[in-house]
């Protein structure tokens, strides 16, 4: 129940949305509302700014890459991404990770990207794919790299997200997650993109804030090997991943359990990228 609600605004232009939002001081933004309705202080919300009237529903793939509007639903993103080829293969499993159709139809790309939580499934994928966020505020529109640390996330405060750009290119990506049950937020997740000796590998849920862990030691191994990886690559990747991961503990998982499972997820991502069996 929105007990304190006084105003509902549904802007139909970016200028109207910016004026209503006033850099975060005007009211609460509504994408699909899936988080707003169940978390935080919605009973104290006085002004809701519903973004659904804005023309941010594009889903276009072309020679430059892919552009996804902030109001595209997670279900539409997951379905579309399945046709975008191996470079973007990690997107669909991350978009559709929480397999409840009602949530997937309602939740938007913008809401998921702007969620300032550490247990978000799309975040490591967007970092691995070098995504750009198209943000607007009173200074105009700009493209920002997907933020991988807390400072980068803070820089998004007061901005509206219009959409995402995913640069074109080759290679293959993969995403794996682990949750207590399938219909649950992840205890840990990981995404990798590899093309020859180039790689980007990120893990999520490795700390209290929405920062991601970049697995530089794993990337170093991959770039040294190129297409000639050694037969024991899984063991070497696991060891390198453990060296990069801190033991982050919370009420749901111990530090060593989360480190161990995340290292396994990284190996699974790379096995999938290499076209090998995911489990040995
Ligand atoms: C029961 C449940 C289970 C979930 N499980 C998972 C899970 O397993 N994995 C996972 O990754 N996520 C999970 N989530 C989170 C889910 O992904 C988010 O609720 C959803 O993606 C948010 O999208 P939304 O459009 O509904 O956002 P909203 O709830 O409308 O907004 C979320 C936040 O984003 C801001 N926002 C929305 N759109 C924009 C925009 N265009 N520009 C700027 N700010 C914006 C809002 O101000 C708000 O702070 C779960 C949520 C629920 C309720």
Q: What is the CATH number of the domain that holds 183?
A: 3.30.390.50
Give the residue whose CA is nearest to atom 37 of ligand 1. Answer: 111
Q: Do 180 and 268 belong together in one domain?
A: yes
> Whole-angstrom Cα distance, residue 92 to residue 96?
6
Arithmetic mean of pLDDT, 18-38: 90
Kindly report the CA angle at 12 between 6 and 13, in degrees rounded to 5?
Answer: 115
Q: Which of 21, 36, 53 delimits the end of a domain? A: 53
In a domain, 222, yes or no: yes
| Mean of pLDDT values over 225-254 | 97
Q: What is the pLDDT of residue 23?
A: 86
CA of 103 to the centre of ligand 1 (A): 9
Tell me the sheet residues that pair with 166: 66
* Residue 270 located in a structural domain: yes
Q: Which atom of ligand 1 is nearest to the CA of 135?
A: 42
- Structure token digits, residue 264: 């396994």
Q: Is pLDDT above 90 for 146?
A: yes
Give φ, ψ of 174 to 5 degrees.
-155, 150
For residue 124, pLDDT over 80 is answered with yes
Average pLDDT over residues 107-130: 97
CATH label of the domain that carries residue 140: 3.30.465.10
pLDDT at 40: 67
**Residue 49: in which H helix or E strand, if any?**
strand 47-50
Beta strand pairing call for 198-204 and 188-195: antiparallel
pLDDT for the residue numbered 39: 72
State residue 148's pLDDT score. 96
- 240 and 207 in a single domain? The answer is yes
Q: Is 280 part of a structural domain of the chain? A: no
Is 2 within a domain? no
pLDDT given for residue 91 in this prediction: 98
Can you give the residue range of the structural domain that contains 26? Answer: 7-53
Q: How far is the CA of 36 from the centre of ligand 1 (A)?
A: 8
Mean pLDDT in residue range 257-266: 98
The chain-wide mean pLDDT, for the chain, equals: 95
Indicate which CATH number applies to the domain containing 20.
3.30.43
Are 221 and 254 contained in the same domain? yes
Q: Which residues contact 124 (CB under 8 A, 6 or more apart)?
A: 94, 175, 189, 190, 191, 202, 203, 204, 212
Residue 115: CB within 6 Å of ligand 1? yes
Residues 66 and 110 in one domain: yes
Task: Give the C-alpha separation, 126 to 118, whole Å.
Answer: 14
Q: Is 193 inside any structural domain?
A: yes
| Predicted model pTM | 0.96
Whether residue 279 is contained in a domain is answered as no
Question: Are 16 and 99 members of one domain?
Answer: no
Q: With bands split at pLDDT 50, 70 and 90, how would you rate the model's confidence at 208? A: very high
Domain boundary, last residue among 122, 145, 167: 167
Q: Domain boundary residue among 124, 140, 167? A: 167
Distance 32 CA to ligand 1 centre (A): 7
Count of domains for the chain: 3
Considering the domain architecture, whether residues 22 and 111 belong to the same structural domain is answered as no
pLDDT in tens, 38-90: 776 778 889 999 999 999 999 999 889 999 999 999 999 999 999 999 999 99
Residues 6+ apart with CB under 8 A from 239: none
pLDDT band at 142, cuts 50/70/90?
A: very high
- Paired with 215 in beta bridges are none
- For residues 38, 40, 45 and 50, what is the CA-based torsion angle, rounded to 10 degrees? -60
For the segment 240-252, what is each residue's pLDDT rounded down to a tens digit?
A: 999 999 999 999 9
Residue tagged 């997200």 (tokens): 161
Q: What are phi and psi of 21, to 5 degrees?
A: -75, -35
Residue 197 resides in a domain: yes
């Amino acid at each position: 129940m929105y007990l304190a609600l006084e105003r509902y605004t549904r802007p139909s232009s970016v200028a109207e949305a910016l004026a209503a939002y006033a850099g975060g001081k005007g009211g609460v933004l509504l994408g699909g509302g899936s988080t707003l309705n169940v978390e935080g202080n919605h009973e104290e919300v006085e002004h809701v700014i519903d973004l659904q009237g804005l023309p941010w529903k594009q889903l276009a793939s072309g020679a430059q890459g892919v552009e996804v509007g902030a109001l595209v639903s997670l279900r539409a993103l997951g379905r579309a991404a399945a046709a975008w080829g191996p470079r973007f293969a990690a997107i669909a499993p991350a978009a559709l990770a929480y397999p409840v159709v009602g949530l997937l139809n309602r939740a938007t790309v913008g809401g998921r990207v702007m969620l300032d939580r550490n247990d978000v499934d799309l975040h490591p994928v967007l970092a691995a794919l070098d995504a750009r966020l198209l943000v607007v505020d009173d200074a105009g529109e700009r493209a920002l790299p997907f933020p991988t640390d807390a400072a980068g996330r803070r820089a998004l405060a007061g901005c509206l997200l219009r959409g995402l750009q995913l640069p074109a290119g080759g290679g293959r990506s993969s995403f794996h997650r682990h949750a207590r049950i399938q219909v649950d937020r992840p205890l840990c997740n990981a995404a990798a993109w590899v093309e020859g000796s180039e790689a980007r590998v990120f893990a999520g849920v490795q700390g209290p804030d929405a920062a991601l862990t970049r697995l530089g030691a794993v990337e170093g191994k991959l770039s040294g090997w190129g297409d000639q990886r050694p037969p024991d690559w899984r063991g070497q990747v696991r060891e390198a991943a453990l060296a990069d991961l801190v033991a982050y503990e919370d009420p749901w998982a111990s530090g060593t359990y989360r480190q161990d499972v995340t290292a396994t997820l990284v190996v699974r991502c790379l096995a999938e990228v290499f076209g090998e069996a995911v489990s040995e």
